[in-house]
Amino acid sequence: MTMTVQSGVTLREIINEAAKYEMALPYTPYWWGLTIGGLIGTGAHGSTLWNKGSAVHEHVIHIRIVSPAEQKDGYAKVRNLIEFQDEDINAARVSLGVLGVISQVTLKLEPMFKRSIAYLTKSDSNLGDEVISFGKKHEFGDVMWYPSQEKAVYRVDDRVSIDTPGDALYDFLPFRALPSELYDVNRNIEELQEGLPFAEGKCWFAKFVTGTLAHASYGLTNNGLPFFEYPIVGFHNRMQASGACLDSWENHLTSCPWDWRINGEFYHQTTFSISLSVVRNFIEDVQTLVRLEPKALCGLELYNGILMRYVTASNAYLGKMEDGVDFDFTYYRSKDPLTPRLYEDIIEEIEQIGLFKYGGLPHWGKNRNLAFVRAIKKYNNAKKFLEVKKKYDPQGLFSSDWTDQILGLKEGVTILKDGCALEGLCICSQDIHCAPKKNYFCVPGRIYKEARVCRHVEGQTNKISDMRDEL
Ligand SMILES: Cc1cc2nc3c(=O)[nH]c(=O)nc-3n(C[C@H](O)[C@H](O)[C@H](O)COP(=O)(O)OP(=O)(O)OC[C@H]3O[C@@H](n4cnc5c(N)ncnc54)[C@H](O)[C@@H]3O)c2cc1C
C-alpha cells in the first residue's frame, strides 16, 4: 500500500502505475501534468474535508532530500525523513524548494475504489450556509460558483463500492487538446470585449461557455460515450485528474489553451483558502459586490467561474492552518502590463478581502505578488520551518530573492512602479500604480474600505477626491 517514486515523476504516471496494482492515491490536484516534487513543494491539493485531507503531502510517509554539506562530508547530505520518526518531514512536506533537492518520495496508497459523480446546479443564494455541510457530506465534493449568474454547481461526488456498475471517464473539457485557431478566436473575442469595453458581451459569452461545459458534463463520459443521467460511476483513477492536451500534436495544430507558443489564454490566477469559520462571511461579501456591480464577475465565468475546493489543517509547517475552502479565481490578463481589465477594482477588492480581511492563505504555487504580503506571518510554525531551512541549507544555495521575500527574510515582496497594481505587483497607494491616463485611479474598496483598488472613474477627478475623503 505504498509507492516510492523519484521526484520528477508526474501525477499521471503515479495514478496509472498505482492503478495497475489496483491501488489509488485518494486526493490529488485535477491536472495530471504536475510532478510529485513540484506539487508537494507548493502544497497542491484536490478537494476533501475527510480523512487526512486533500493535499498530496498529507499522504507522503517518507521523503529523501539532498542538501548542501561541507567538503569533508562530500558536499552533500542525504536525509531520509520518515513520518512519525523525523519531525523535519513537516518542513520537507511543503518546502518551496528551499531545503534542498527532494530526490524520492513515498506515498501511502489505498485499495482502488469507485466514485459516483452528479452535478447539481442551484441558485447561489444559500451558498454561504450550505458550503460547510456540503463539504462534510460528500468526500470529493467541490463547487463551481458563477456569481454573476447567481448560480452554484455542486459536484456531488462520493466513494461507492467497487462492484457498483459503471465505467465513467473524466476527461475535463478545458484540459483537452483543441485546435489552436479556436483559442486564437477566443482570445481575440476577449481582447475585443476588454478593449471596447463591452461587459455585457462578456456576460453573454460567459453564459455560452458555462452552458456548453454543463451540456458536455464538463468532460465526464461513459467511457467516451455520452450518458443521459447523473450520477455516473467509475474507477477513481479515471476520474481524479486529467490533462489530455499534454498529448497535443507536435505541429501545434492542437495544444493546451495556455500554451505560450500560440495566441491562447493569458490570465492571472488568484488562489487562497479561507477558514471554515469565516467562509460564509467571505461568500456574502462577494455577493454584496455582485449586487453593487452585477456584470463585474462575468469575466471569471469565462474561465468556468470560481472553483471552490475543500482543504484541511496540516502538520506541515507551511501547510494549511485550519480546515477551509480554497477559492480559485482565473481572470483576463492583458499582454500589455499597463492596460487595466474590466472591473479591475472588484476583483482586486475580492482579492484583498480574502487575503487580508479574512486572513486567507495563498496557494504557494499560484497567485500574484500581493498575495504574499505578510503571508508567512499567518503560519504558526513559520519559525520552525526557517530553523530547518537554516540547518539544511545555511548558505541559502537553494534560496532566491523571491523565496527570501515570501519567507519574510528580505524586503520587497511587492514592487512599486507605474501600473504595478494592474499586475498584482503591489497594492496601489497612488494613482500612478493604476492607469490614471486611462481613467483608472487608486481608491478605497466599495465594501472593504481598507482595500486600495484601481477603479475606472470617467473624467471625474472631484469624484475621486470625494472617495478619498471617505478615508
Ligand atoms: C494546469 C494547471 C493545473 C493545476 N491544478 C492544480 C490543482 O488542481 N490543485 C492545486 O493545488 N494546484 C494546481 N496547480 C498548481 C500546481 O500544483 C503548482 O503550480 C505546482 O507546484 C506545479 O508543479 P510542477 O511539477 O510544475 O513544479 P514546479 O513548478 O517545477 O515546482 C514548484 C516548486 O516546487 C519545487 N520543487 C520542484 N521539484 C522539486 C524537487 N525535486 N525538490 C525540491 N523542490 C522541488 C520548485 O523549486 C518550486 O518551488 C495547477 C497548475 C497548472 C499549471
| Residue range 328-359, pLDDT digits in tens | 999 999 999 999 999 999 999 999 999 999 99
Domain ranges in the chain with CATH number 3.40.462: 114-306+323-351
pLDDT of residue 250: 72
CA of 38 to the centre of ligand 1 (A): 4
Residue 463 has pLDDT above 80, yes or no: no
Within 10 angstroms of residue 137's Cβ, the number of other Cβ atoms is: 12
User: Which residue's CA lies nearest to atom 20 of ligand 1?
Assistant: 39
Average pLDDT across the chain, whole number: 96
- How far is residue 242's CA from residue 12's CA, in Å, rounded to a whole number? 8
Rounded Cα distance between 281 and 232, Å, is 33
Give the three-class secondary structure for 220: strand
- pLDDT of 405 reads 98
CA angle centred on 24, ends 22 and 25, rounded to 5°: 160
| Rounded Cα gap, residues 337 and 79, in angstroms | 43
pLDDT of 466: 56
pLDDT reading at 459 higher than 90: no
Distance from chain centroid for Cα 9:
21
* Amino acid 249: pLDDT: 77
Residue 469: which pLDDT band, with cuts at 50, 70 and 90? Answer: low
Residue 36 Cα: closest atom of ligand 1: 25
d(CA 468, CA 50): 46
Query: What's the 91 CA to ligand 1 centre distance in angstroms?
Result: 17
CA dist 152 and 141 (Å) reads 13
Half-sphere exposure of 457 (CA within 13 A, CB side): 20
How confident is the model at residue 470, as a pLDDT? 54
| 89 closest CA partner among 409, 286, 315 | 315
HSE on the CB side for 179, CA within 13 Å?
3
Kindly provide the b/e burial profile for residues 282-316, where b requires at least 16 CB atoms within 10 angstroms of the residue's own CB. Answer: bbebbbebbeeeebbbbbbbbbbbbbbbbbbebeb
- CATH number belonging to the domain at 2-111, selected among 3.90.1150.10, 3.30.465.10, 3.40.630.30, 3.30.450.20: 3.30.465.10
**pLDDT score recorded for residue 317:** 98
Which residue's CA is the nearest one to ligand 1's atom 24?
A: 38
Alpha-carbon gap, residue 134 to 420, rounded angstroms:
39
Task: Indicate the Cα dihedral angle 386, 391, 396, 399, nearest 10°.
Answer: -50
> Which of 372, 359, 361 minimizes the C-alpha distance to 404?
372
> Which contiguous run of DSSP H or E holds residue 232?
strand 232-235
CA dihedral over 380, 129, 365, 234, signed as positive or negative? positive
403, burial (CB in 10 Å: exposed 0-12, middle 13-18, buried 19+):
middle
| Residue extent(s) of CATH 3.30.465.10 domains in the chain | 2-111
Kindly report the protein residue whose alpha carbon is nearest to atom 1 of ligand 1: 31
Is it the case that residue 176 has pLDDT exceeding 80? yes
CA 195 centroid distance within chain: 27
Phi, psi of 331 (to 5 degrees): -150, 155
How many Cα atoms occupy the beta-carbon half-sphere of 123 within 13 Å? Answer: 2
Q: Which residues line ligand 1 (CB under 6 A)?
A: 7, 29-31, 34-35, 37-39, 41-42, 44-45, 95-97, 101-102, 363, 365-366
Integer CA distances (angstroms), 161 to 46, 158, 223, in order: 21, 10, 19
Peptide bond into 231 cis (omega under 30): yes
**Mean predicted confidence (pLDDT) in 377-396:** 98
pLDDT (tens digit, 9 = 90+) per residue, 214-270?
999 999 999 999 999 999 999 999 999 999 999 987 766 899 999 999 999 999 999
List for the chain the helix, strand, coil content (%; round to 5): 35, 25, 40
Instruction: Using a pLDDT cut of 90, give the percent of the chain over it.
Output: 95
Q: Which residue has the cell 456548453?
A: 212
- With CA atoms as reference, report the closest residue to 284 among 227, 211, 230, 353: 353
Residue 465 has pLDDT above 80, yes or no: no
Closest-lying ligand 1 atom to the alpha carbon of residue 100: 43
Quote the CA–CA distance of 357 and 307 in Å, as a whole number: 20
The domain defined by 114-306+323-351 carries CATH number 3.30.420: no
Cell for 14? 503515479
454 and 422 Cβ atoms separated by less than 8 Å: yes
User: In whole angstroms, what is the distance from residue 22 CA to residue 307 CA?
Assistant: 30
450 phi/psi in degrees, rounded to 5: -75, -20
